[in-house]
Structure 1
């Protein structure tokens, strides 16, 4: 081979050896997705921000580090100090912990990817939404009025007006002067614009305020909102209402008898209904107490009571005692006048001697015997 050809071949080999290997440009690395959990933050919330980058080139790309910075949404986790090479067609996920500030709005913390060998950086603003709207709570069912020691059903509805889901939703009654079952109600997850309800059996012992605390999570962040329910005692429009009608008063030996009807004019049942004459009357046999039993709404029952008085009383109370479904005791009273009734028939003389009725019988018998003797004497 000629010396000239050998020289040319040697120069070509040296040139090939000096050429740098081909590598993908930093422009081939792009952010393909970003996500936030939870997707919408509240003020002060902590979240996980995930950024995925991909090498769309034909050669690997050397990456020095990855970091995130921002003002209103602050990164809490450290940057990635050493990343290494990202192969052709491969992707890599970067995860950061961030915290929302004290303002609402949409903010853009910046994700930065620094390349090696002075090849520049990739900058990508990540949108983060901060909205401080809480869950809403309202009482959708309660009695018109509360009564001491009487159980009432309270239904609370919780709604989610937020743009993202809430998890672990529960309602917890708090306060004093009442007992309640259950002690807490669990609703669970609530999608945006969804709602759930929970019912409590509340038994107040005094007028008070009941706080229904709604607890939920936005991601890993716990939040609360309170609903206040004033408990004031008053007349329940639905409760049983025994009414006494058709009353008649008649005298009996040693006292009086009252007969009449008792009707339940309320919307709820009256249970264990008893009718008794009240003071200053003194109940006597045979009907010291009249047991009616249960009176459902619009039911009616007759009753009869017997009693005595000291002779100067012009009216007495007739007392109706009953209970509600929870066993709470109530009374209702109707005054009944004695002025139009005849005086009671005495069974004895005031000095404790012979009974008046017995004396009359003796006199009649004596008159009969005397008449018979006189008739016999006349015939003879």
Structure 2
């Protein structure tokens, strides 16, 4: 066979070499194995990072030219790969692109493109989701009304309705005319559909607005949302309500003694309750100030105060001072009348009144005796 057909020998040799040689890798051997967007869901105007991993599954090296990202809606910010170079057999390369989402909510598909030096292009559309939903903040707890100088418990509830986690979440009260503790709260990461309650103690000095600023990050992007709480003053329906009852005023020499009961008609305790009198009366010994102490709701306690009052005084203020559970002071004033007083000019309330009464009785007795004698003479 070799003598009759000499040309077949080199042809068979070449065919054998081709069969033994490895096949050359081409574009079909390079594939995208993973893509990732950070943050996973962008908000409108956010800057994100797209990472694409490609793998050469072929038996030999592939020479790659340029790697690019194309997009009309989600816009690439950078072009970092004008010349990629070789990707060895069984190895991979990672490509990262910065992009900006200046678009409404929706899913967009910027295209990853890998140009091969010899022939062909790899194109891979990458889904990028845009959702502009912000974090939500609500007032979960607050008093029915506020009082000046009185501490009130406020609870702010922060929720994450977004499809991805928010990081670095903080709540900061802003404004004037109040004191607040703490001055800020750090929540940290907040998972999708998660919520956290943040308590504050607010003490207003005047009617004002308190702004709770909620800040967070979506990837490297900072965002904020404000919640405004109007603070207006009104009557506290739960606070302590000391009431004076069964008040009696009796003269004793040149002073007066007032006695009665103090009841707490409110729904909170009245603490450090004291009773005294105010001008035009002047407190005097032995009971200038009467200390009642703590009155719980529906409690009743007696009191006794002594004071002096001028000849023309017919009414004096009974003063009840107390504090709430936060130590804030309050005052209740109850007018009480002074009975059994004589006409103007008297100086001794406890002595002159009985004398005047005796004089009236004596005059009446004299008139009765005179009338009796005249009837006898007839």
| TM-score of the pair, normalised by structure 1 | 0.84
Task: Give 1:59's aligned residue.
Answer: 60
Confirm or deny: 8 A CA contact 1:251 1:345 kept in the other structure. no
- For residues 198-237 of structure 1, the aligned pairs below 5 Å read 198-237=198-237
Structure 2 CA distance for aligned equivalents of residues 25 and 349 of structure 1 = 126
SS of the aligned residue for 1:243 comes to strand
Deviation at 1:29, TM superposition (A): 2.0
Structure 2 CA distance for aligned equivalents of residues 269 and 284 of structure 1 = 29
Task: Give 1:302's aligned residue.
Answer: 302
Residue 323 (str. 1) matches residue 323 (str. 2)? yes
| TM-score of the pair, normalised by structure 2 | 0.85
Deviation larger for 203-212 or 324-333: 324-333
Task: Give 1:286's aligned residue.
Answer: 286
Deviation larger for 291-300 or 207-216: 291-300
Deviation at 1:313, TM superposition (A): 2.6
Deviation at 1:135, TM superposition (A): 0.3
The CA RMSD over aligned residues, in Å, is 2.7
SS of the aligned residue for 1:143 comes to coil
Deviation larger for 10-19 or 154-163: 10-19
Alpha-carbon distance change, 81 to 301 in structure 1, aligned in 2, over 3 angstroms: same
Structure 1 CA distance for aligned equivalents of residues 349 and 186 of structure 2 = 71
How many pairs align? 350
Alpha-carbon distance change, 233 to 324 in structure 1, aligned in 2, over 3 angstroms: same
Confirm or deny: 8 A CA contact 2:320 2:333 kept in the other structure. yes
Deviation at 1:84, TM superposition (A): 2.6
Deviation at 1:11, TM superposition (A): 6.0
- For residues 1-380 of structure 1, the aligned pairs below 5 Å read 8-10=8-10, 22-117=23-118, 119-339=119-339, 341=340, 346=348
Deviation larger for 82-91 or 233-242: 82-91
Deviation at 1:59, TM superposition (A): 3.5
Confirm or deny: 8 A CA contact 1:250 1:342 kept in the other structure. no
Q: Deviations over 1:233-284 (max 9, x none)?
A: 1111121111111212222111321111111222222222111112222222
Deviation at 1:12, TM superposition (A): 5.5
Deviation at 1:349, TM superposition (A): 8.4
Confirm or deny: 8 A CA contact 1:253 1:345 kept in the other structure. no
Deviation at 1:220, TM superposition (A): 1.0
Deviation at 1:160, TM superposition (A): 0.5
SS of the aligned residue for 1:139 comes to strand
Q: Deviations over 1:35-76 (max 9, x none)?
A: 111100001111111112223333333222211121221112
Deviation larger for 80-89 or 260-269: 80-89
Gap regions ≥5 residues in structure 2: 356-378
Gap regions ≥5 residues in structure 1: 351-355, 358-380
Confirm or deny: 8 A CA contact 1:72 1:103 kept in the other structure. no
Task: Give 1:376's aligned residue.
Answer: none
Alpha-carbon distance change, 66 to 347 in structure 1, aligned in 2, over 3 angstroms: closer
Q: Deviations over 1:329-370 (max 9, x none)?
A: 21101122223x4669938989xxxxx99xxxxxxxxxxxxx
